[in-house]
Chains A and B, each alone.
Chain A
Amino acid sequence: MPANRSSSPGAGRRPSPLLVGWACAAAALALLPLVYLGLRALEHGPAHAWRIAVTGRTLELLVRSLGLAVVVVAACLVIGVSLAWLTVRTALPGARTWSVLATLPLAVPSYVAAFAWISTEPGLAGFAGAALALTLVSYPYVYLPVAAALRGLDPAQEEAARSLGHGPLRTFRRVTLPQLRPAAAGGGLLVALYVLSDFGAVSIMRYETFTRAIFTAYRASFDRTPAAALGCVLVVMTVLLVWAEARTRGRAGHARTGGGSARRASSARLGRLRWAALGWCSAVAAAGVVFPLGTLGYWLTAGRSGAWEPGRLLETAGATLAVAAAGAALTTALALPVGILAARHRGRVAHLLEQAAYAGHAVPGITVALAMVFLAVRYAYPIYQEPPLLVLCYAVLFLPVAVAATRAAVLQSPPVLEDVARSLGDSPLRVLRRVTVPLAAPGIAAGAALTFVVCMKELPATLLLRPTGMDTLATRLWAETTTASYAAAAPYAAVLILIAAVPSYLLGRRRA
């Protein structure tokens, strides 16, 4: 109905040109590496690129990468859906604690999980180890949306099914499960994306996938076309996944019909299965959280006599903090206009800018880093292997994190406040400064903290772009682990987790 649209936010308002220009710059920066990667791969003609891309080796990498993704996604679906059902819909003792434990692995970088497993059992190297480590860090991507979907289900629907003569199992299959499918599918696709983009776990487990092959190709030869061609294949795969994920999200419109808020569903009683359920939850928590931390503790104490280098550790921590802080600052500054436009102006331009800013979400870190290397070597040699290039790369990679946070923060306050400020004599830019940004500030700060954490944990792009002689905690951890110096790696992992825990803790407290 047109009359409803008239009262909708931002209808008919034109964004300030400065805001649009600023957002365009951010979007262009986000798209630049992708475009350049394509140009570079096609530099010696499509035939050359085709010859390099379509080989037995590429096919082999495709099979290995997809095989790993399929196995990890399947395992994550089993763990994620079962834990979600147990913690949300059953009378599991300590359900709240289990639900917190189930999300904690999100904070464990894949290379730390891989470090923990391979340092305990070197025989895990290869497919099994990579699948194990990746499953244990990425199942929360399934757990979280499925648990949210279960919580959001209206129990009245299940009650209606029961009253219409369906037993509990049939009700679950015909009413509950179909409504969980979009959440589970979306989560599964995120896991697949995570696996395809992962570099840390597969390289530590010495399992050859696209990301590892790209890194090797880049290091091995001066001809960068093979790396670029492999990068393009990987980008095509991930873009297909993102497209599929967006489609499942678009169709996930399983809302409740009718108004009012849903009641909480009654919890299913587990009976004698309670012990089996507790055992399963404990096993997942032990493998995903307790084991990595325990291993870290073991290597910290075991390595006491050996490779403690406090000076170097301090220096590395300082360098990590500096580049991560700069990355978070630049990313937040670039995300601000895109997030505001996305929240307040639903025109085609705003939509395109937002989509462009999300490019980093679809492209694995290693390919963005590769593109930045190409660009810098040719057009900006002075910043090649200098901190600014690394910081720019962080901005491209993590713009989606900051844009999503900014957009959500701006959406928190009703647009009518901005209308009122305009009617009281403020220009659009003054409204931004006096109303929009101050109101969104807590959410924007939370996004900046989150960006800081992901910058700090970033591995593949940092490996390619770090200034000569500079290490971050992640690259040191990776370097020591790949040479099996586990005791030397442990302090870096410990400091990384400690520093990352501070913003995570603050974010968690804010949400509570």
Chain B
Amino acid sequence: MTDLRIGGLVKCYDPPARVLDGLDLTVPAGLLAAVLGPSGCGKTTLLRVVAGFLRADAGTVELGGRVVCGPGVHLPPERRRVGIVPQEGALFPHLSVAANVAFGLTGTGRAERRRRTGEMLELVGLPGYGGRMPHELSGGQQQRVAVARALAPAPDLVLLDEPFNALDSALRAGVRADVRAALRATGATGLLVTHDQQEALSTADLVAVLRDGRVAQCGTPEEVYRRPVDLWVAGFVGDAVFLPATVEDGTAATPLGRIPLAGDRRGSGGVVVLRPEQLVLGPAGTRGTVVDVRFYGHDAMVHVAVDGLDEPVAVRVPGPAGVRPGEEAAVSVTGEATLHPR
């Protein structure tokens, strides 16, 4: 069990523009952290620096107290004990599934290699597939083999580089859950790079939101979603409703009424953030007009124009919406909001 500590990591390609700009991140042993960010935020660079494919310009990377990257230290990738699961698996096309999984098992006897290979294939739900060639597998199976290959040498850390991107959405949830389970079973610490908010929130123990080469916020999925540190994070990790507010007696006065505030309440006014599922359509509440209804199957989003707001507010409604554009509706708020400076 090994923890990952990243401190003050800096990487520039065209100085002085910094792709990683003093990035700090700690992942406790055995947990899976998702690094979530828009394209160009430095996610892939971070992953390649941790793996050892890129040299950092400053900062340190420690694995279980072992400095693998730091001032004057650059451990080559093959000596870091860091496994990677690339996009689309990247299985060696000239080797069988078993030979792919056994690739990193050097310095062990043949019998032990075979045992470990079988064990790993079982772990990812593909027992008996060892004799196949990569092109005979489906995309989801290839991705599972890639996970087995990365886990086989029992690495301290596994890096997953948008591993579920290439899978169609029907397969994705199943593969994601199995990979999660395989990681837990081996106790390896994991770092999952993704730009998909759903994936980060549903798969990881920790979510680190990256912006401009720094961690904007790191916390459990619930914390990041419910208590975003600023308006950008709030908008990036999920659908958000922004309301102008003034603070009175620890609650926020907004066009949708008074809303209790979570956490420390700084300042006298600003913008409060709510999630659409905190808004309820009902007989009571602030009156408004439905301007748009978007149906997603499991739920629907109803956009309601309310007096005193420039933009309509989004209300998530389970199942069919039951209202149509043009109809009158009342909006009320449940739960707490976070307050941010304007």
Residues of chain A touching chain B, judged by Cβ–Cβ distance below 8 Å, are: 1-7, 11-13, 413-414, 416-417, 419-428, 434-435, 438-439
Contact = CB atoms under 8 A, between A and B. Distances in A.
B44 A7 contact: yes
Contact of B48 (A6, A421, A428, A439): A6
B76 A422 contact: yes
B80 A423 contact: yes
A114 to B, nearest CB: 45
Contact of B94 (A7, A416, A427, A439): A439
Residue among B40, B53, B54 having the largest count of chain A Cβ atoms under 10 Å: B53
Contact of B93 (A7, A413, A420, A434): A413
Contacts of A438: 94
B39 interface: yes
Closest 5 CB pairs of A and B: A424-B104, A422-B77, A6-B45, A3-B40, A12-B54
Contacts of B54: 6, 11-12
Given A423-B104, A434-B103, 9 more contacts: A2-B17, A2-B19, A3-B43, A12-B55, A13-B53, A421-B92, A424-B153, A426-B78, A426-B104
A435 B99 CA distance: 12
Interface stretch (B82-90, B171-179, B262-270, B279-287): B82-90
B77 to A, nearest CB: 4
A3 B14 CA distance: 11
How many chain B residues sit at the interface, stated as a range, is 35 or more
B244 interface: no
A434 B17 CA distance: 37
Given A413-B93, A422-B52, A438-B94, A6 B77 contact: no
A422 B90 contact: no
A2 B104 contact: no
B13 A416 contact: no
Nearest to B84: A423
A424 B45 contact: no
A240 B286 CA distance: 80
A311 to B, nearest CB: 46
A384 to B, nearest CB: 44
B61 to A, nearest CB: 14
A423 B83 contact: yes
B48 A420 contact: no
A284 B133 CA distance: 47
A438 B94 CA distance: 8
Contacts of A6: 13, 19, 42, 44-45, 48, 54
Contacts of A3: 19, 39-45
A425 B86 CA distance: 16
Contact of B90 (A416, A425, A427): A416
Contacts of A414: 90
B51 interface: yes
B246 to A, nearest CB: 40
Interface string B7-23: 00000011001010000
Interface in B135-189: 149-150, 153, 155, 159
Interface of chain A, main secondary structure: helix
Contacts of B13: 2, 5-6
B198 interface: no
Q: Which of B78, B149, B150 has the most CB of A within 10 A?
A: B78
Interface in B60-117: 76-80, 82-84, 86-87, 90, 92-94, 103-104, 106
Contacts of B53: 11-13, 419, 422
Contact of A424 (B14, B42, B43, B149): B149
Nearest to B103: A424
Most B CB contacts (10 A, CB to CB) among A420, A421, A439 go to A420
25 contacts: A2-B13, A2-B14, A2-B45, A3-B19, A5-B13, A6-B54, A7-B48, A11-B53, A12-B48, A12-B55, A13-B53, A413-B93, A420-B90, A420-B92, A421-B103, A422-B78, A423-B77, A423-B78, A423-B80, A423-B84, A424-B83, A424-B153, A434-B103, A435-B92, A439-B92
Given A3-B44, A3-B45, A7-B44, A423 B90 contact: no
Most A CB within 10 A of own CB, among B76, B77, B82: B77
B86 A416 contact: yes
B193 to A, nearest CB: 11
Contacts of B84: 419-420, 423
A423 B94 CA distance: 18
B51 A423 contact: yes
A425 B104 CA distance: 6
Contacts of B83: 423-424
A426 B103 CA distance: 9
A316 B254 CA distance: 98
Contacts of A417: 90, 92
Contacts of A439: 92-94
A400 B39 CA distance: 39
Contacts of A1: 40
Interface in B327-341: none
B106 A425 contact: yes
B225 to A, nearest CB: 25
Contacts of A12: 48, 53-55
A2 B19 CA distance: 7
Contacts of B42: 3, 6
A244 B106 CA distance: 51
Contacts of B87: 416
A420 B86 contact: yes
Contact of A427 (B52, B78, B150): B78
Contacts of B17: 2
Nearest to B40: A3
Contacts of B41: 3
A147 to B, nearest CB: 31
A2 B104 CA distance: 31
A426 B105 CA distance: 10
A6 B14 CA distance: 11
A413 B90 CA distance: 10
A1 B55 CA distance: 19
A417 B43 CA distance: 20
A512 B230 CA distance: 58
A210 B92 CA distance: 51
A428 B76 CA distance: 9
Nearest to B39: A3
A7 B155 CA distance: 23
A182 B333 CA distance: 66
A439 B210 CA distance: 37
B112 to A, nearest CB: 15
